[in-house]
Amino acid sequence: GHPVVIVTPQPGAVVETGTSVLVAVKVAEEFYYSPTPHKGLCTAIHILGRGDGGATHESCASGFDTFTATVTEPGEYQVVVSLWSSDRPLDRAATPPAHRHGSEQTHFSVVSTGAPLDPVSYARREGFRMIYEYGHWGEDGARSGPGSSLTGAASDQQFLMNLVIRYNVTSILDAGCGAMEWQSQFLAELHTLTGWRMRYHGVDLVPEVVASNQAKFADVPELTFQVLDLARDELPKGFDLVLCRHALFHNTNPAVKHILRSVQRSGARLFVATTLRPTHDHWPSPKSQIINADVDIGTDGRRLLWGGYRPVELEAPPFHLPPPLAWAIEYNATGKPVRVERRTQGLGVWNLPWLHEV
């Protein structure tokens, strides 16, 4: 098989001057880990344009590479990506690549009107868009990942059902709703059990995901959706409960703090989020020191732009949330508790507002 080359912006896209353009290359696992793997896989990314708007990036990466360039002049641009294998690091760009495996080309236009997009927000959105479009997390959960499938979310779904009934919750803001696979079943079962029609507002970073949800639930007026960057934007107000399931661990510490402060200002009564906790049968160890270790966007943070995971424990520094009002261990599709770095993952419930500033 050939490597999968993914280039953004999409063909024919129009961006503004000052926009940070993300180009990402993902190599299919069956290619990179084949019986004769291509060690020293190399990537060449060229953004061709007039003036100082063009840029070039070349490296030898291990299956995934990104390059971000800021376009500074209006005009037509072309992106060319090439892959080849080598037994040594790339030492001269002038040498034609040997053992070429694939290439991809696209183009985009640059205009000079309007305010520039935020570079980090744009790159993060494009990373998650590619996860959804190309199924980087697999087909489970309607491409939102196995944790968002009906089996992967079964334990959390039952816990949330009991919570909603106990606290008479009539409206939910889902901060990071994804493709709404398990949520649609949850809302249907809640209606069957109680007769309630929950007002449910889902926000997500990826416009294509939001558009798909809007089309899928167009005949359900209680379900509404909105494009929103949790790490930068303010949450909508007017909901009883803010749900942030499987979302915080895709963000850096400053972004998580922004989200928590936005939750605090939302006026909601309850906050429900995925977090890690030490449990009696899984004691901490020195290895657990990496919990809440920050990731800098621009270095290893590219993993987060591609939907990477890092452990987040909301009761630990630097967040210092109080102990949750209720807690439920998350179980995976095989029925086993989800363990991460000598912690247990689950849903925590907090009353709002907190008594301290995050």
Domain ranges across the chain: 4-117, 142-351
What's the token pair of residue 120?
A: 């980090």
What's the token pair of residue 258?
A: 């922004």
Alpha carbons 295 and 239: distance in angstroms, whole number? 31
Question: Which stretch of DSSP H or E encloses residue 159?
Answer: helix 154-166
CATH of domain 4-117: 2.60.40.10
For residue 216, the model assigns a pLDDT of 93
**Mutual orientation of helices 181-194 and 154-166 as an angle, nearest 10°?**
40
For residue 273, the model assigns a pLDDT of 98
191-200's contacts with Cβ under 8 Å and 24+ in sequence apart are 193/161, 193/165, 194/165, 196/170, 197/222, 198/164, 198/169, 198/170, 198/171, 198/172, 198/222, 199/170, 199/171, 199/172, 199/239, 200/171, 200/172, 200/174, 200/224
> Do the strands 4-7 and 326-329 form a parallel or antiparallel pair, or are they unpaired?
unpaired
Q: What is the pLDDT along the chain (358 residues), one digit of tens a residue?
A: 444 445 555 555 665 555 555 555 554 444 433 334 444 455 555 555 544 445 555 555 444 555 556 655 656 656 565 555 544 433 333 333 333 444 444 444 444 333 344 566 766 777 777 777 777 666 655 566 677 788 888 889 999 999 999 999 999 999 999 999 899 999 999 999 999 889 999 999 888 888 899 999 999 999 999 988 899 889 999 999 999 999 998 888 899 999 999 999 999 999 999 999 986 554 555 444 456 666 544 444 444 544 567 789 999 999 999 999 999 999 987 889 988 877 899 999 999 998 677 7
Q: Which CATH number fits domain 142-351: 1.10.3720.10, 3.40.50.150, 3.40.50.2000, 3.40.50.1970?
A: 3.40.50.150
For residue 73, the model assigns a pLDDT of 60
pTM for the structure as a whole = 0.66
Q: Count the residues in the chain.
A: 358
For residue 38, the model assigns a pLDDT of 42
Alpha carbons 341 and 339: distance in angstroms, whole number? 7
Among candidate residues 212, 231, 225, 250, the one with its CA nearest the CA of residue 173: 225
Determine contact, residues 58/90, Cβ cutoff 8 Å: yes
∠ CA(330), CA(332), CA(335), 5° rounding?
A: 100
For residue 264, the model assigns a pLDDT of 95
Alpha carbons 65 and 229: distance in angstroms, whole number? 23
Alpha carbons 244 and 11: distance in angstroms, whole number? 33
> Do the strands 13-16 and 64-70 form a parallel or antiparallel pair, or are they unpaired?
unpaired
For residue 59, report the phi and psi dihedrals to the nearest 5 degrees: -160, 165
In sequence order, the 6+-apart residues with CB closer than 8 A to the CB of 23 are 7, 8, 45, 47, 57, 66, 67, 68, 69, 79, 81
